C-alpha cells in the first residue's frame, strides 16, 4: 500500500506445507517426511541443484521513474499490486529512481536484510535511455558493493512491446472510439528524448497503434518536437475529422497535464496504468532475466 509517499512492505515468507506434503516450487516429487523408503532413494546431484535453485524465487523489484505528482506513485503502486497478485511465489516490491520513496537503494538494502540471495530488478520504463543505461546500472553497481553476497540482475525495460501498444489501443477504445472509424485521428503523445534515435523508436508506436484499425495516427512529444499541435495538423492533413490523444505514458503526471493544457478541446485517453498486458510484459521481463541468470550459472 502506498501511503503518504512511502511504500509499506509486507515481509516475504517462504511457503510452507504440512508435514509429508511436497511444495510444488520446492522441487516436484521431493517427498520430505515420506519415511525410510524415501531416504533409501538418493536424489541425483543435478536434481538437488535444481531444487535448491527453485526453492525460493528471486525478489522482484519493479523500478518506476518517480514524479512529484501523487497520481503517478499511486498508479505505479496499483501496477505493482497487480504484479504481486500474478506472482505470489515472489517477494514483489516497488522502488523509485527519483522524487518518491522508497528508493532503489532502500529496497535492495531491505531485501538483503531479509535474507534474499538473488534479486531481479525490472525497470518499468518505456524507453531505454539514460535511466535504464546509466542511472540504474550505477545504482545497482553500488548495491553489489554493499551486498557482495546478493546477486542482482537488471532486466530489460518494458520498451515498445506490441502488448503495450495493444494496451494503449484499449485505452483509446475506452473513450468510445471505433477501430473502424476512418475519420478518427490519434495523436500518440510520448515524453520525448534528447536522443533522435530514441524518438525514432517511439515513432514506431504510432504506426503500430493503427494496425487493425482505420485510424490515422501521428506521434508527438511533451518535451521536444513535434509537439501536439503539429501532430493535430498532420492528422487533419491526412483526413482526420476528429482527433483524440493517446498518452504513451504508464501513469498520469505533470507531463500528461502539460499535454492536456496544450489543447483543452481534445479528448485524452487514460494512461496505460495497471493494464493486464503491462503486468504480462513486466512479469516476462523478470522471468527472462531470471532464466538468463540460471543459464549463466549452469
- Output the tens digit of pLDDT for each of the chain's 298 residues: 333 333 433 433 333 333 333 323 333 333 333 333 333 344 444 444 444 444 579 999 999 999 999 999 999 999 999 999 999 999 999 999 999 999 999 999 999 999 999 999 999 999 988 999 999 999 999 999 999 999 999 999 999 999 999 999 999 999 999 999 999 999 999 999 988 999 999 999 999 999 999 999 999 999 999 999 999 999 999 999 999 999 999 999 999 999 999 999 999 999 999 999 999 999 999 999 999 866 655 4
Domain limits at 132?
A: 59-159+276-296
195 and 115, same structural domain? no
188 and 102, same structural domain? no
In the prediction, which pLDDT does 21 show? 31
Does 39 map to a domain? no
CATH of the domain at 182: 3.40.50.1400
260 and 174, same structural domain? yes
pTM of the entire structure?
Answer: 0.81
178 and 150, same structural domain? no
In the prediction, which pLDDT does 252 show? 98
Distance of alpha carbon 102 from alpha carbon 105, whole angstroms: 8
Does 6 map to a domain? no
290 and 145, same structural domain? yes
The residue behind cell 530514441 is 198
The DSSP secondary structure of 228-268, one letter per residue, reads HHHHHHHHHHTT-SEEEEEE--SS--HHHHHHHHH-TTSEE
Give the residue from 165, 11, 171 showing the smallest Cα distance to 75.
171
**At CA 63, angle to CA 104 and CA 204, rounded to 5?**
145
In the prediction, which pLDDT does 271 show? 98
247 and 106, same structural domain? no
144 and 221, same structural domain? no
In the prediction, which pLDDT does 292 show? 83
173 and 228, same structural domain? yes
Q: How many domains does the chain have?
A: 2
Amino acid at each position: 500500500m502506498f501511503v503518504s509517499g512511502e511504500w509499506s512492505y509486507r515481509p516475504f515468507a517462504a511457503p510452507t506445507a504440512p508435514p509429508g506434503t511436497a511444495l510444488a516450487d520446492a522441487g516436484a516429487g521431493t517427498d520430505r517426511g515420506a519415511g525410510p523408503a524415501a531416504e533409501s532413494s538418493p536424489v541425483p546431484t543435478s536434481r538437488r541443484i535444481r531444487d535448491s535453485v527453485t526453492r525460493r524465487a528471486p525478489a522482484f523489484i519493479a523500478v518506476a521513474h518517480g514524479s512529484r505528482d501523487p497520481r503517478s506513485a499511486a498508479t505505479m503502486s496499483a501496477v505493482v499490486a497487480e504484479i504481486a497478485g500474478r506472482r505470489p511465489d515472489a517477494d514483489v516490491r516497488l522502488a523509485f529512481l527519483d522524487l518518491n520513496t522508497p528508493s532503489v537503494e532502500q529496497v535492495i538494502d531491505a531485501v538483503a536484510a531479509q535474507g534474499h540471495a538473488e534479486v531481479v530488478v525490472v525497470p518499468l520504463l518505456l524507453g531505454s535511455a539514460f535511466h535504464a543505461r546509466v542511472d540504474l546500472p550505477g545504482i545497482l553497481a553500488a548495491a553489489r558493493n554493499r551486498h557482495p553476497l546478493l546477486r542482482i540482475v537488471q532486466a530489460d525495460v518494458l520498451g515498445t512491446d506490441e502488448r503495450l501498444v495493444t494496451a494503449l489501443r484499449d485505452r483509446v477504445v475506452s473513450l468510445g472510439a471505433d477501430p473502424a472509424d476512418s475519420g478518427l485521428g490519434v495523436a500518440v503523445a510520448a515524453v520525448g528524448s534528447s536522443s533522435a534515435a530514441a524518438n525514432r523508436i517511439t515513432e514506431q508506436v504510432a504506426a503500430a497503434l493503427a494496425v487493425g484499425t482505420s485510424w490515422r495516427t501521428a506521434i508527438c512529444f511533451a518535451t521536444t518536437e513535434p509537439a501536439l499541435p503539429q501532430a493535430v495538423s498532420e492528422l487533419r492533413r491526412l483526413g482526420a475529422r476528429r482527433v483524440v490523444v493517446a498518452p504513451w505514458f504508464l501513469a498520469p503526471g505533470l507531463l500528461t497535464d502539460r499535454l492536456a493544457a496544450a489543447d483543452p478541446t481534445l479528448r485524452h485517453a487514460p494512461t496505460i496504468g495497471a493494464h493486464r498486458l503491462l503486468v504480462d510484459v513486466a512479469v516476462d521481463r523478470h522471468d527472462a532475466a531470471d532464466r538468463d541468470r540460471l543459464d549463466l550459472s549452469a
